Amino acid sequence: MRVQVAIIGAGPSGLLLGQFLGKAGIDTVILDRSSRAHILARVRAGVLEEGTARLAEAAGVGRRLRAEGLPHDGFSLAFDGRDHRIDLFDLTGGKRVIVYGQTELTRDLVEAREAESRLTIYEAANVVPHGFDGGTPHVTYEKHGVTHRIDCDFIAGCDGFHGASRKAVPQGAIRTFEKVYPFGWLGILADVPPVDDELVYANHPRGFALCSMRSRTRSRYYIQCAQDEKVEAWSDERFWDELRRRLPAHHAEAITTGPSFEKSIAPLRSFVAEPMRFGRLFLVGDAAHIVPPTGAKGLNLAASDVHYLATGLLEHYQDRSNAALDAYSGRALGRVWKAVRFSWWMTSMLHRFPATGDFDQKIQEAELAYLTHSRAAETVLAENYVGLPY
């Protein structure tokens, strides 16, 4: 088989890239080691920047997002037993975020690709990119015990942090930067109405908490937990009790509890690999960078990567120019590092660190006090939260 672009990974970044290229008449194949059912069942992020929503619309998959997504004009910072609302819409001149589950966006992209009869190969084992440092890029994979080869012009590695794409890069050609945070997030999904119309980020002596949602009837809640915590140790009752302890009284009293249908613990890390291009292989999204979820940037960064890469590939095929492809890594990393900084700052400001002394704790409290009494500081937060321009 031969295609113009082989895409490794059928998550939202790979599917979004495939959708953009397909609309332009560029032939693609998408490979993923997981099944279609598994991909559509994965629970991930749900806060989209306006830029991500615009990309979805441009790719032809924005109808359900606009109909069912929940526009949010702000969110609350809760500390010292009270709320302080960050008015995103006012501070940014009319920008907002949209709550729409990554699972739903992935479903929209999968269905659009299938409707256009574009090839996705699920349950492809041992996917490996080859020849990307020369003139014969290709991808091999195994299916039903048979090894297959796909020749192509370019390879897009959209296969996540643990995928094969970054691992295929020679060790001396890539540099990585990483910070592992000394805690995780214990999260649940429950079919109960959210505690508030907007997200609530809480800083509390017992640890961070986040009240989020996927719809008006489905809530996503998180609490900070120790790195070595076991999800089996947390009954629903224990989780709801701990969440209430970390929220201001009016929120704690308003929580509707119910059985969870998903419960997991996620470690927090910051990770960047650079560059993001190696010959004819391009890293996209989590294959190149990870941010803690505090700033809601993971999916949105993957979308901006897709924007830069799709622009470069379209220019290559339509205008016979490689300028945008050559600029891909630099453009993407410029935005990535700003988001890494923002996510680190939000994480540092809102979590309780095990080794924090009295001095550091006072600095954190001063940071929150300054932020919530300075329009200039609030504006910096709001501009980053709604998403920096591409």
Burial status of residue 136 (CB atoms within 10 A of its CB: 0-12, 13-18, 19 or more): exposed
Burial status of residue 258 (CB atoms within 10 A of its CB: 0-12, 13-18, 19 or more): middle
Q: Is 144 a catalytic residue?
A: no
Q: Is 222 a catalytic residue?
A: no
- Which residue in 72, 204, 251, 316 is the catalytic one? 72
- Which residue in 95, 204, 289, 297 is the catalytic one? 297
- Which residue in 100, 141, 181, 201 is the catalytic one? 201
- Which residue in 221, 292, 293, 307 is the catalytic one? 293
Residue with tokens 């970390």: 246
Q: Is 137 a catalytic residue?
A: no
| Helix, strand, coil shares, percent, the chain, to 5 | 40, 25, 30
Residue 256 backbone phi and psi in degrees, to 5: -95, 120
- DSSP-derived letter for residue 205 is T
The amino acid at 288? A
Q: How far is CA 336 from the centre of its chain?
A: 12
Q: Is 181 a catalytic residue?
A: no
The amino acid at 125? A
Please state the length of the chain.
390
First to last CA, the chain: 35
Q: Is 162 a catalytic residue?
A: no
Catalytic site positions: 72, 201, 293, 297, 385
